[in-house]
Chains A and B, each alone.
Chain A
């Protein structure tokens, strides 16, 4: 079966966005989106773990018995999360400090386990890598946008660059994180609904056109 890479990409970023559509990985989403840069750091870490774990699980999918697939997946994911921790501590200590407790929590991030179970364990390595990549990009984009929004309104800065002195403390607080998350889910659902409606109208028009063509053919034959 030929892999539809375009569908994998659009699923990861838009139609099946793990943060805004599937509502997975809400713990780091709420806790780390105080700044845009935090979203990028977390997104990169999760993307790396997603790609590596998806690849390895896909390669081992015919070897791992289904009875122990979950513990096997968690072992694989935990290994890559530890590798990310070691890399960040050595190469990007600022990112390591910012991510703090949420870095080891990537092991139990639902996005990674869900993709391992629902995609990587059933598809080939190349498709699994693409799925991990685009899911990670979707996660990173959602976190970065939310972080930028909260940073802009909460402290008047973006990516650490102060733009204005005006700030609304609410958006830097925990309550603000929930509000922002709900707002972004609502906006995303609205956009998704408009796109789906347009697609349905387009599909209906195509269906009507094909049916009318069929009935013309039948009339001509008669």
Chain B
């Protein structure tokens, strides 16, 4: 018995086990202390899109309500952001699937009513992704291509975003077609939702 506890094998395993236990305990404590809540993430997205943190109302929260599902993705958060007294924007958090290796891309999409009374996509930023490896190819100019001036018209004409260059709203990326497809699907969820639920 004494030889067993004095053996090299036991010392090696026990050393590694102790390091693992201490690491695990410290990381579990720190991950609680440094936890970033979904509200904090929303505040960050709003600050990124609108320049500073704005007041907002929750229209849909996927953690409480049911998400809005489509074949190509889902919308799990909708906020109404009060930018000024007379101006408010809709902010969507949408996830598009059918990405690389069946992965997804989540985007924050800001929609506003412009002076003609139509809904337009003002700004799109990345929230997160799953299984995509070429996200560096999705640059700010790629997201800038999503600035649609008339969302409901695009929906009525069936002009959703695709990676096919022969379509009206094409937004491909060479070498990252599937990731671009997932990003397009995230935006298409918002276009479909607005097309189905909002009239000009």
A63–B136 CA distance with the chains assembled, in angstroms? 43
Give the chain B neighbours of A86 by CB distance below 8 A.
Answer: 27, 30-31, 34
Give the chain A neighbours of B23 by CB distance below 8 A.
Answer: 75-76, 78-79
When C-beta atoms are compared, the residue in chain B nearest to A86 turns out to be B34
Number of interface residues of A (CB under 8 A): 19
Is there an interface contact between B12 and A82, defined as CB atoms closer than 8 Å? no
When C-beta atoms are compared, the residue in chain B nearest to A87 turns out to be B34
A79–B21 CA distance with the chains assembled, in angstroms? 11
A87–B31 CA distance with the chains assembled, in angstroms? 9
A71–B136 CA distance with the chains assembled, in angstroms? 32
A75 touches which of B16, B34, B136 (Cβ 8 Å): B16
Q: Tell me, yes or no, whether A64 is within 8 Å of chain B by CB.
A: yes
A64–B22 CA distance with the chains assembled, in angstroms? 15
A79–B26 CA distance with the chains assembled, in angstroms? 9
Q: Tell me, yes or no, whether B20 is within 8 Å of chain A by CB.
A: yes
A87–B170 CA distance with the chains assembled, in angstroms? 39
When C-beta atoms are compared, the residue in chain A nearest to B13 turns out to be A68
Give the chain A neighbours of B6 by CB distance below 8 A.
Answer: none
Is there an interface contact between A65 and B12, defined as CB atoms closer than 8 Å? yes
Say yes or no: A75-B20 contact (C-beta < 8 A), given A83-B30, A86-B30, A86-B31.
yes
A63–B34 CA distance with the chains assembled, in angstroms? 31
When C-beta atoms are compared, the residue in chain A nearest to B47 turns out to be A93
A64–B34 CA distance with the chains assembled, in angstroms? 30
Contact indicator per residue, chain A 42-85, by CB within 8 Å of chain B (1) or not (0): 00000000000000000000011101100110011011001100
A86–B135 CA distance with the chains assembled, in angstroms? 21
Say yes or no: A76-B8 contact (C-beta < 8 A), given A86-B31, A87-B34.
no
When C-beta atoms are compared, the residue in chain B nearest to A97 turns out to be B126
Q: Tell me, yes or no, whether B36 is within 8 Å of chain A by CB.
A: yes
Chain A 178-197 residues near chain B, CB threshold 8 A: none
Contact indicator per residue, chain B 1-19, by CB within 8 Å of chain A (1) or not (0): 0000000100110011001
Give the chain A neighbours of B19 by CB distance below 8 A.
Answer: 72, 75-76
Q: Tell me, yes or no, whether B101 is within 8 Å of chain A by CB.
A: no
Contact indicator per residue, chain B 116-146, by CB within 8 Å of chain A (1) or not (0): 0000000000000000000110000000000
18 contacts between A and B (CB under 8 A): A64-B15, A65-B8, A65-B15, A68-B12, A71-B16, A75-B23, A76-B23, A78-B23, A79-B23, A79-B26, A83-B26, A86-B31, A89-B36, A90-B34, A90-B35, A93-B44, A100-B135, A100-B136
Assuming A63-B15, A76-B19, A100-B136, what are 18 further A-B pairs, CB within 8 angstroms? Answer: A64-B15, A65-B11, A65-B12, A67-B8, A68-B15, A68-B16, A71-B16, A72-B16, A75-B16, A75-B20, A79-B26, A83-B27, A86-B27, A86-B31, A89-B34, A89-B36, A90-B34, A100-B135
